[in-house]
Chain A
Amino acid sequence: MIVAGCDVGSLTAKAVIMEEENIISQAVVLAKTRPSESAGDVMEKALKKAGLSRGDIRFAVGTGYGKDQVSFVQRVESEISCHAKGAWWNRPAVRTVIDIGGQDAKAIQLDDKGKVVRYIYNDKCASGTGRFLEVMAEAMEVDLEKMGDIGKQAKERITISNQCVIFAETEVVSLINEGKDVSAIINALHRAMAGRVVSLARSIGVETDVVMTGGVAKNSGVFDALADCLNLPVNHLDGIDPQINGAVGAALFAREYA
């Protein structure tokens, strides 16, 4: 039986196609203005890779910011449920999922059945979200993917005090003007971000195993800072792109509903 999950976020859209226990295809595209478009595109892409057509999909579940606009799904599930499900399927020992998406950061606590016990979002503020890093990367004219490595070369330890994206940007620019090393600034941003997410997670309690999901998990700088700040081992999902975890969760739901 073939099912699909589609996660339409604020920055990217992801699709996953599963056959029984296996992910047979996956795709990620940058979000268009209209979530319906993004969903359509990313799904087509995934189908093409798998050499399938819409008709082959028995059941599809949507999630993410744009979930209500996805035409081809039979059901929608919240991001929280999907991230929890995806992570637990991939790693049954997981008890805490830390997800940093484009628009918000969340921490999810699971029980040994994979059921969500508690969850928490960051207060309304973009600091500590994917968008935050994106804006900063632009401000420093470095490319988002490279940030992780650049941050590691930091020699000096500085702090960024301003948490508002827009003003953190000003501060970053003035730090550069003061001749501060870009790597040191990026390093500070990573630590600030990790710090916020960790205190968020701690407020609902953190138990091992801890898994980090979402696009930002690919940023080794934030990832390491997170483990460092939590003072616990933090894990990647086994063998899958952390960015598609939500879509995987959605696909798993699809399998149940089908």
Chain B
Amino acid sequence: MRPEIKEYNYDWMLWRILDPASRIADGSLKELDLAYRYVPYFKGVLDPLLREGLPGRLFLKMINTYFENLHTAHAKGKKIAITTFCFSPAICYALGVVPVTLEPLTALGGLMWKRGTFDYLDYACEMGFTETSCSSQRGALGAYLAGLGEEIDFLLCDTPGVCDTNANAFAFAAAFLDKPFYQLNYPQTLGDNKTDNYHLADYKEMIRFMEDQSGKKLDLDRLRQVLDEVDKQDELISDLEDMQRLIPNPLPPMYNLFNYVGRFLFAGMPEYTRLLKSMVDKAGENASAGRSGLRSGKEKRRLFLCYIDHYSLNWNFWQWLDDHGIAHMGSILSRGFRDNVCYTEDLEGSTYSVDTSNIDTMIDSIAQMNARLPMVRSIRGPYDQPNMWLDESLVMAKVFQADCIIYNGTPGCRNTWGMVKPFAKEIEKHGYPVHIMYSDAFDDRIESWEATRERLDEFFKIRGLL
């Protein structure tokens, strides 16, 4: 790692960018232009965000608040835990623990800095990671391994049985940083009693672990508060997803990122609820005007992403969709599978509900919720079984009336790369053209945007989509 990189902490640098940015957001256009002159690169990042209006601004404020909490945590006597993106941080907030969710942090680093997270990605390898391991953790984790972040108190992960390379990253970090570590173990099955009970016991065990580490008992009212907030958020998400079904889809492509980052940094927190509310309002306006969420206002095609939905270091991918009149029908990783959403009709017994009547129902709810987070649920078992990857991608494509499906992941993702070919062939049989991107969603040294774009153009043209 270059010495100058070691000068400042990863999370601190992000905070220092977001703090002024979130205030600039409220400034006048004139002030904005002035500010841009000093941060020409950042203009490319901030502009598209602010173009989204209130949701864009609230998004900025939300992540800024997140980093503020992170940096004041220890001063406030709170513990900090590293977690992963298919783990709901709601339980952390119920216990007053501040979560460091690696994947969104890596994604943010990629978006905010010109050189992305290269130095941190490579540092992880210098410390013993293989280059073939998943880049989504390596980015931010590299920084914490290098001691370039807030001091971590313990680690939580829920990917054993879901994704080796993810779980390994946490096991490695725990051994390397010598910190306590709890891992939820997920069997391949979902929804049957045997499995649910196994989850529940495991989850309760984890709560005990968190109580020991944080020195706080799980407070009932606090838990209820968080779950009520989750309940509100689920309602709003469900509204958004209902609107997403409209033709044209009134949601701008970037809403997927707002939703994704929001859920994995701030589930159960009012900041996220506020953001969702503003998204619903904005999308509602578009909907009632019969306007597409795309800047052109015209929707030519509807694209569903069966895995990750962003390309490495910038908004390129979303911009490209926007420019070509392609509506973003969400990615599988942004789905929640709450029992009230529109796509769960065909997904019997694999949803969760929130019941705050007593402690048991509450813990049951939150455990169920965690077991139904997108990757945990869809990508852990045989790809072609009910409620697994193929099944759910098809349901989504149908419900959201997608015209085509794109796979984008990282070469580090054995679990999806190992089955994406049969998956694609099966999807094609149902009449959806599928494009497999070779890019790395977190590291554009794998495939340049130029090469990626060329293949996208080709796909949409030749498959008669544009």
Contacts and interface: CB of A to CB of B under 8 A. Distances in A.
A and B touch in their complex, CB below 8 angstroms: yes
A116 B464 CA distance: 9
Contact of A78 (B428, B438, B462): B462
Interface residues of A, number: 9
A86 to B, nearest CB: 15
B458 interface: yes
Summarize A's interface: helix, strand, loop or mixed.
Answer: mixed
Contacts of B425: 203
A80 B462 contact: yes
Interface in B445-463: 447, 457-458, 461-462
A34 interface: no
A123 B438 contact: yes
Contacts of A49: none
B16 interface: no
Given A78-B457, A124-B447, A119 B462 contact: yes
A62 to B, nearest CB: 14
Contact of B438 (A81, A124, A203): A124
Contacts of A80: 458, 462
Interface string A62-99: 00000000000000001011000000000000000000
Interface in B409-466: 421, 425, 428, 438, 447, 457-458, 461-462
A256 to B, nearest CB: 15
A78 B463 CA distance: 12
A54 interface: no
Nearest to B438: A124
A203 B421 contact: yes
A80 B457 CA distance: 12
Interface residues of B, number: 9
Contacts of B457: 78
A118 B425 CA distance: 11
Nearest to B422: A203
Nearest to B446: A124
Contacts of B421: 203
Contacts of B458: 78, 80
B435 to A, nearest CB: 11
B461 A78 contact: yes
Contacts of A81: 461-462
Interface in A105-151: 116, 118-119, 123-124
A21 B189 CA distance: 62
A118 B435 CA distance: 11
A124 B457 CA distance: 18
Nearest to A119: B462
Contacts of B438: 123-124
A81 B425 CA distance: 21
Interface of B: 421, 425, 428, 438, 447, 457-458, 461-462
16 contacts: A78-B457, A78-B458, A78-B461, A78-B462, A80-B458, A80-B462, A81-B461, A81-B462, A116-B462, A118-B428, A119-B462, A123-B438, A124-B438, A124-B447, A203-B421, A203-B425
- CB-based closest 8 A-B pairs: A78-B458, A124-B438, A116-B462, A80-B462, A81-B462, A78-B462, A78-B461, A80-B458
Interface of A: 78, 80-81, 116, 118-119, 123-124, 203
Given A78-B462, A80-B458, A203-B425, 13 more contacts: A78-B457, A78-B458, A78-B461, A80-B462, A81-B461, A81-B462, A116-B462, A118-B428, A119-B462, A123-B438, A124-B438, A124-B447, A203-B421
